[in-house]
Chains A and B, each alone.
Chain A
């Protein structure tokens, strides 16, 4: 546990000092929302149907940027060698990195969300707890697969390109569940109306966190 916390804390401090990844994710996420606003100009009346999709596209695209950075940074000065030499289980590296990525992505989501509500003229005050629940579950699932795939793609020649190509097909169920439940939330649904999707998201999170934790060892093997 302490080892996981150490790696987590290292990533948080690095990010706090440079602010590179969160700021770029944030700006990119906002840009996605603004651009989609132009693309769907005529149908803004149906905002509750389109907005959830836009929101999750913004979140996941921004998330990809952050995930790409997470291992590119380590490769830069060969820091990954240092991490591997550390006397910790490789799974701990995964867990630490994954938690840090979750925090970054969730932070970005919390900043994007008010702007999004403002731009689409939504009234969601009562629905915020449910929305946060779906956001957290969706983010954990996306980052669980994203962190291990980021490590995989960091080892390939086309690193930045490979991550979205690998991650998006696998993230389809998580995206679908997140978007569908967000639609229901925007239409004023209660927890029971989204409970199936929430279960699916939770299942996705558990399966991929556990499996990635188990097989992460092989990513770093030389």
Chain B
């Protein structure tokens, strides 16, 4: 096995360049927001992370279905890699959100639709990861985790709808929102740069996590062989 994979090197350098550029765009290039001030700059990372967390959970759903159909180990590994990285991004969302909310809303947390849904989402995938940790048998784990991955994701729109009827306070989406919503052009550029940088980071982390899962599985196989 080669020690360093060529693709990994390229991807990691791209992540490094992208993140540096994203920092520049978010902190220097983008104009300061009129009413919220500097604190608004957290938006670029907050929203990017939210999109990617959602993408990751969607991929867990897709890979779970693929695993149940094909029973190929790689789909299970991809599902767990995405779940873990998704939880990381969701955690970023849940941490940066309150940091922004305190100066702007005056409170860290409120039981609003998007906030509550993100928290529930986070809990669903934490429980998904916990459950995986408690099942030793690989085949069983794949099946059972896929079931939780599918049911958990199907629940997301229902959670969102129910909490939306319950209450809502979060600012409405500024990207692809309604007619009145929108970002200043400079802010929009900065946002998309951040989104691309975060997507690269997401790909890199998921790839690493996948490789790690594969190594673990290989070691496990070798260990079982050695015991025989």
Please give the residue numbers on chain A whose beta carbons come within 8 Å of chain B beta carbons, in ascending order: 145, 148-149, 152-153, 155-158, 162, 165-166, 168-170, 172-173, 176-177, 180, 196-197, 200, 203-204, 207-208, 211-212, 215, 218-219, 221
Query: Judging by beta carbons under 8 Å apart, are A200 and B143 in contact?
Result: no
Give, as a whole number of angstroms, the nearest-CB distance from A34 to chain B: 27
Residues of A within 8 A of B136 (CB): 157
Residues of A within 8 A of B162 (CB): 172-173, 176-177, 200
Within 120-164 of B, Cβ neighbours of A (below 8 Å) are at 120, 123-124, 127, 130-131, 134-136, 139-140, 143-144, 146-148, 150-152, 154-155, 158-159, 161-163
List the 9 closest A-B pairs by CB distance, nearest first.
A173-B162, A169-B123, A156-B134, A157-B134, A169-B124, A173-B158, A218-B143, A165-B127, A152-B144
B166 within 8 A of A: yes
B62 within 8 A of A: no
Please give the residue numbers on chain B whose beta carbons come within 8 Å of chain A beta carbons, in ascending order: 68, 120, 123-124, 127, 130-131, 134-136, 139-140, 143-144, 146-148, 150-152, 154-155, 158-159, 161-163, 165-166
Q: Is the interface of B mostly helix, strand, loop or mixed?
A: helix
Residues of A within 8 A of B134 (CB): 156-158, 162
Query: Judging by beta carbons under 8 Å apart, are B146 and A218 in contact?
Result: yes
Determine the residue in chain B with the shortest Cβ distance to A177: B162
Query: Judging by beta carbons under 8 Å apart, are B120 and A172 in contact?
Result: yes
Determine the residue in chain A with the shortest Cβ distance to B137: A155
Query: Judging by beta carbons under 8 Å apart, are A173 and B151 in contact?
Result: no
